Amino acid sequence: MKDYVTFAERLAPDTVNRLERAAHHRYESANVLWKEKRRLAALYMLGYTAEICLATAYFRCAGFSPNAEIDRETRNRRMAQARLIEMPNGDTLMPARDAHPILGWARFLEYERTRVGNLSVRDRQRLREAVNKASLIHSYWCPSLRYKVLDFGEEALQKVQKATKWLLDNQPQL
């Protein structure tokens, strides 16, 4: 048995409330990095902001109260479920080997909210828009950006930032 506790093991578990706050922090960090012309790092933070927004919206929709713990295994079971549910085109809602599936969370959220029902036309439009925004971010972002040394264009970064801001602003209604 090891006789120490790692920093990761000392962190408080995730909750909907904590995740919402984390999304805002990541977004603010992205903006600071952008101002410093650290565009790749800014994009990297924006991707995580989007992922947190969508995953949090899913957990809220799945009935998790604001302060209920969401541990790693609870999250993994839900991701596993999304990896087993097929869309009409035969693909699954979440791809099998993606640990940070931005688009997968958006699809799973839309699926879950549709399954639960009671959606207004506006709700449906908003969920579809969330999938579209996630798709755009997904087309520029991946976790392995952290290993890269490259610059990122202003125009593309603006697109990703705008889409992420939309997710952040609309998160409570998703």
Positions touching another protein (CB under 8 A) are 62-65, 67-69, 71, 73-74, 76-81, 83-86, 96-97, 99-100, 115, 143
Q: Closer to another protein by CB, 8 or 150: give it.
A: 8
Residue 135 CA to residue 145 CA, distance in Å, equals 17
Q: Closer to another protein by CB, 27 or 59: give it.
A: 59
Do 102 and 122 form a contact (C-beta atoms < 8 A)? no
Least distance (Å) from another protein to the CB of residue 122? Answer: 25
Q: Closer to another protein by CB, 14 or 157: give it.
A: 14
Residue 38 CA to residue 120 CA, distance in Å, equals 41
Least distance (Å) from another protein to the CB of residue 53? Answer: 18
Residue 85 CA to residue 108 CA, distance in Å, equals 9
The radius of gyration computed from the CA coordinates of the chain, to the nearest angstrom, equals 17
What is the CB-side half-sphere exposure of residue 66 using CA atoms within 13 A? 4
Least distance (Å) from another protein to the CB of residue 76? Answer: 6
Q: Closer to another protein by CB, 66 or 153: give it.
A: 66
